[in-house]
Amino acid sequence: MSESGVIHDIGYQRYSGPRLGRGYAVRSLYAHSLRTAFGLGRSGKSKIFPWFAAGIALLVAVIVTAVRAQMGKPVLSYTSYADAISILVVLFCAVIGPELVSRDLRSGVLPLYFSRPLTRADYALAKLAATVSAAWLLLAMPLTIMFLGGAFGAGGAKEIWTEVGRYAAGLGYAALFALLFGAISTLVGSLASRRAVAAAIIAGFFLMATAVSGVVSGIAFATDSTALQHTFGLLSPATLLQGVHAWAFAEQPGDLETIPVGGLGPVYGLVFAGVVALCTLLLLARYRKVAR
């Protein structure tokens, strides 16, 4: 029908069914955003990147599982898997975080949300949770393939239990990954209304931070300074996570070498929690102001 077409009127029906309120609205927003992250219910174009990233992550898992079956021992542990593909997680978050928040900022749709039962904080937290969940799923799907492969090759019930424990630790470490990168990318996305700009800032930040911590680690090992060797990891998100890995997670067969943390493990844990909390608070503050 065209612009000047007739407006049909075949009677208006009042709605007398249930109204499920704020909690339901927040859950729906979370589910909708999580689907959006993987391009579900959207055009084919928006499915390309998330599934390309997921494809690479799954491919790595399949190869690792196949090699393990051939060699009879794990070549990459569940926890080190996330460290190994950290750059992929960074890229995924750099695209998905802004995708979920910048788009709404740009199209001006926020007043439509805020004039409904859910609050500004509800909106921000639902979006954050969706980004974090999407990043976690990106890691959890390949980890599950690795687990299935490992469980089939296991000799008995006891070995399977050990495998379950290591798998669970891997999922837990993946959650920390998702939290850190998800929180940073959602925050940056909420500050820039152009997705490409936000993605570039996030990716640039991770590259810069990695370079800085790399240079400092070079200095630390060249000068044999133990203090510097134990602290340079705090300078970049990826090494910060490695520090938490080295401190809080039990060794698994197939672990990659993590950075040395000495007795500073708890500091890595605290800095990690601090960064996530700070990003969340800044995100909430941002949404208290936006689209007044």
Partner 1 sequence: MTLIATESLTKRYANGVLALSEFTVQVQPGVVGLVGANGAGKSTLIKILLGLVEPTAGSVRVLGLDPRTEAEKIRARVGYMPEHDSLPPDLAAAEFVTHMARMSGLPKVAARERASEALRHVGLYEERFRQIGGYSTGMKQRVKLAQALVHDPDLLLLDEPTNGLDPAGRDAMLGLIHRIGSEFGISLVVCSHLLGEVERICDSLVAIDGGRLLRADSVATMTTVSDVLAVEVSEGQPELAAALRAQGLPVREESHLILVPLTGDGTYDQIIGEVARLDLPLHRLDLRRHRIAELFATAAPTGQEAADV
| Binding residues vs partner 1 (CB under 8 A) | 1, 3-10, 12-15, 17-22, 24-25, 28-29, 32, 41-43, 46, 103-104, 107-119, 292
Give the C-alpha separation, 144 to 61, whole Å: 9
Of residues 54, 78, 50, the one with CA closest to residue 64: 78
Give the C-alpha separation, 203 to 185, whole Å: 9
User: What's the token pair of residue 278?
Assistant: 């700070």
Residue (12 or 72) nearer to partner 1, CB: 12
Task: Identify whether the C-beta of residue 39 lies closer than 8 Å to the C-beta of residue 47.
Answer: yes
Residue 16 C-beta: closest distance to partner 1, Å: 8
CA 151 and chain centroid, separation = 26
Of residues 40, 53, 30, 28, the one with CA closest to residue 199: 53
Residue (17 or 263) nearer to partner 1, CB: 17
Residue 9 C-beta: closest distance to partner 1, Å: 7
Residue 3 C-beta: closest distance to partner 1, Å: 5
Residue 200 C-beta: closest distance to partner 1, Å: 21
Residue (127 or 166) nearer to partner 1, CB: 127
Residue (31 or 215) nearer to partner 1, CB: 31
Residue (119 or 144) nearer to partner 1, CB: 119
Give the C-alpha separation, 36 to 41, whole Å: 7
Residue 56 C-beta: closest distance to partner 1, Å: 25
Task: Identify whether the C-beta of residue 162 lies closer than 8 Å to the C-beta of residue 78.
Answer: no
Under DSSP, the state recorded for 13 is -
